[in-house]
Amino acid sequence: MADVRVLVQQISAKYGNKRTSLLPILQDIIKEKNYLTSEAMTEVARALDISAAEVYGTASFYSFLETKADGKNKIYICKSITCDMKDKNKIIEAAERTLKIKLGETTPDKQFSLFETNCLGLCDVGPAMLINDDYYTKLTPLKIQTIIGDITRRK
């Protein structure tokens, strides 16, 4: 618990102890620890002087704020209304075809996990997705294949 408290204090010092820092703080904790523990979320609530419910609410709204470990590359395709209207289903199908897995699954080599997420705030350039820390926009089925191929070659 003590090292989680120190980690949260260091990260919140970097972003400032304000409510708007919540998302980057949670993302940095995941970078360090691979996933969010309830202890870490409690410490974040304490550091920002907000309720634990607010931290849990944010963590559960954004599925890319993982509360468990998954594949090395975590793909989150936006499922919200604007991306939905811009054919996000074709994007998901292309990702599933390319990776040979379904939503919610991880490839057998543990290189990729595939998820949907709520609005990433990139609606004007959707369909959008997040892979680890990188955002990708104006997606097409072909672009998905290229992006996944590039990441596979880099490993």
128 conformational bin, left if phi > 0, alpha if psi -120 to 50, beta if neither: beta
Residue by residue, DSSP assigns 101-137 as --TT-B-TTSSEEEEEES--S-GGG-S-EEETTEEE-
Q: What is d(CA 57, CA 155) in angstroms, rounded to the nearest whole number? A: 34
Q: Which is nearer to ligand FES, 45 or 88 (CB)?
A: 88
Residue 95 in the binding site for ligand FES (CB under 6 A): no
Residue 131 in the binding site for ligand FES (CB under 6 A): no
Give least dist CB 107 to ligand FES, A: 24
Give least dist CB 83 to ligand FES, A: 3
Token pair, residue 147, equals: 């992006």
Each residue 49-88 as x (binds ligand FES by CB under 6 A) or -, in order, gives -----------------------------x-xxxx-----
Give least dist CB 133 to ligand FES, A: 16
Decide if 136 contacts 128 (C-beta within 8 A).
yes
Each residue 99-128 as x (binds ligand FES by CB under 6 A) or -, in order, gives --------------------xxxxx--x-x
Residue where the block lists tokens 């490839």: 107
Where along the sequence are the contacts to ligand FES (CB under 6 A)?
78, 80-83, 119-123, 126, 128
